[in-house]
Amino acid sequence: MPSKFGGIPVEENSTTKSRFGGIPVGDQQPAVPAATEEPKSLPGFLSNIPASAGRLLGNMGQAILHPIDTAQGVGTLLGGMAGEGAPGTWQSQVAYPAFRGAMEGLKNRYGGLKEIGNTLYSDPVGAAADASALLGAGGGLLRGAGAIADAGGAGRIAGLLRGAATGAETAGDVANPLTLPLKGAGEALKVGARGLAKSALSLPSKAEAYGATPAKALLEETRGVRPATIAESARGRIGELSNELESRAAAAPGKTSLAPARSLLEDKMLRAAQANSEATPRELEPMHRFLTVPGPQFAGEREFAPAPGPVGPSPILGPNGQPLPSSVQPQIERVAEQQSPSDLLKMKRQFDTDFVSNWSPTANTKGQLGVARQVHHALGSEINRAVPEAAGLNQRISSLIPVERSANMADLSAGPIERGLNRATRPTGALIPAIFGLHEGGVPGLATMLAGQELLSSPTAKMIGARGAYGGGAGAAAPITRRSLILLPEAGKASQ
């Protein structure tokens, strides 16, 4: 009895017993509801979603697990697009019937408003995948046409085509049922990678103050997996970003103000004095002098201001020889409140060196360090206000600085032998796996467990895992991934 391929009678023989070049005889798509279909309802539509998603994943799995069959099936369909061919040939007996069957399947799904409605109801996930694949392919064709128009000098047409391509690709991403799962999986991988990278270099939590993201900077701004390589890479990147920030600040118009930083610091000193503290104002006084008193070689702008305190007597004597009241307030030189963005950037960096980076628990208090960080942040905020590009650059630099420091410390820390001895001499239970390995496998088992422990605790091994996971997360969330994967279900159908 002849088989059917999309409604076309086909004689069975050794070549076309049940497949045409990997294409199954019969309709490719899920059958549309019969004429006696049940009335459509919201609960019925919702109940169809899991089965529809299962068919989509099954077709994707078919394409991935059977790549040869998939390639043969796709090739057969493409060959059938060329026409029926001469009688008795592969073209007429296999390729063209396969192509006709596929077209019949599409007609059953999308041949009219009724068929479209049935497909959307019975196979919503598959319909979304079909729409996404069509829109993605259309966007790619439009983008290619735009490149051709651009090369031909038709810039306006090229711009219109690129805009249409972006719109089609965006719509395809919205319709794509893989978009949210892939983005979620990608973000989960990135979160895990950032945690592993933070553990690898023992990045302190305080390094994340004021919006800094050191773990992200470690994975995105540096290279290598060994601490020494990471430290060198971070230093180089900090230098590049600092040079760019200096160029931006030098080109920025207008002025910046020291008033926010001075006001913050003076308020802290006043509050401490009002609470009868002598130590806190004395500890904060060097910061205040830094912001107000110019040194002999200070390159920023200076100004003269009235000296604090009462006005002294005039050197001019009255008729009876008494000193006359002075009407002239003594003037002192001080750091001008208004500074160029470039000069304020230099002051901010030096303030960090003097009061933040070089903080010592033996010479300073934690309160002093906290105020220093607040003043440093106020200086940075003023630079960000005057230099629009500075905020992003400062954030990246402040994220990389703890990466460089932690990588240097990790590079100088104990090696494998020292870590092994540390585990052996501390009563933390760290030798339990090694003892178990010795008991179960003798010396080889002991060596295996020790090597495994070292691998898990090694900063280099952790960074290998972190970089691998982060790259996988970025790849999973990339548009090209979901636009490529959504084509697999169609290819999977061709191999069944």
Question: Could you read off the pLDDT of 333-386 as tens digits, one per residue?
Answer: 999 999 999 999 999 999 999 998 876 666 566 678 889 999 999 999 999 999
SS (H, E, C) 383-428: HHHHCCCHHHHHHHHHHHHHHHHHHHHHHHCCCHHHHHHHHHHCCC
Say if CB 6 and CB 102 are below 8 A apart: yes
Domain spans in the chain, listed from the N-terminal domain onward = 3-177+488-494, 416-466
Q: What is the mean pLDDT of residues 13-37?
A: 46
Cα(211)–Cα(381) distance, integer angstroms: 12
Q: How many CB atoms lie within 10 A of CB 296?
A: 4
- Kindly state the helix (H) or strand (E) to which residue 491 belongs, with its residue range: helix 488-494
Least confident of 77-86, 379-388, 393-402, 459-468: 77-86
Question: Could you read off the pLDDT of 26-35 as tens digits, one per residue?
Answer: 444 555 555 4
Q: How far apart are the first and last CA of the chain?
A: 22
φ, ψ (nearest 5 deg) of residue 338: -95, 125
User: The tokens 């045409």 sit on which residue?
Assistant: 20
Q: Is the pLDDT of residue 316 over 50?
A: yes
Cα(495)–Cα(72) distance, integer angstroms: 7
Confidence of residue 62 (pLDDT cuts 50, 70, 90): confident
Residue 469: Cβ-neighbour burial (10 angstroms; 0-12, 13-18, 19+):
buried
Amino acid at 288: H
Mean pLDDT of the chain: 83
Three-class DSSP category at 285 = helix
The reported pLDDT for the residue numbered 14 is: 43
Q: What is the mean pLDDT of residues 162-177?
A: 94
Three-class DSSP category at 334 = strand
- Kindly state the helix (H) or strand (E) to which residue 440 belongs, with its residue range: helix 432-457
Estimate the crossing angle of helix 179-201 against helix 214-221, to 10 degrees: 100
Say if CB 403 and CB 218 are below 8 A apart: yes
The reported pLDDT for the residue numbered 210 is: 80
Which residues, 6 or more positions from 429, have their beta carbon under 8 angstroms from its beta carbon? none
Alpha-carbon 228 to chain mean position: 24
Token digits of residue 132: 């996404």
List, as own/partner pairs, every contact residues 246-253 make where C-beta atoms lie below 8 angstroms and the sequence separation is at least 24, other chains included. Answer: 246/342, 246/345, 248/387, 248/389, 248/390, 248/393, 249/341, 249/342, 249/344, 249/345, 249/383, 249/386, 249/387, 249/390, 250/341, 250/342, 252/341, 252/342, 252/386, 252/387
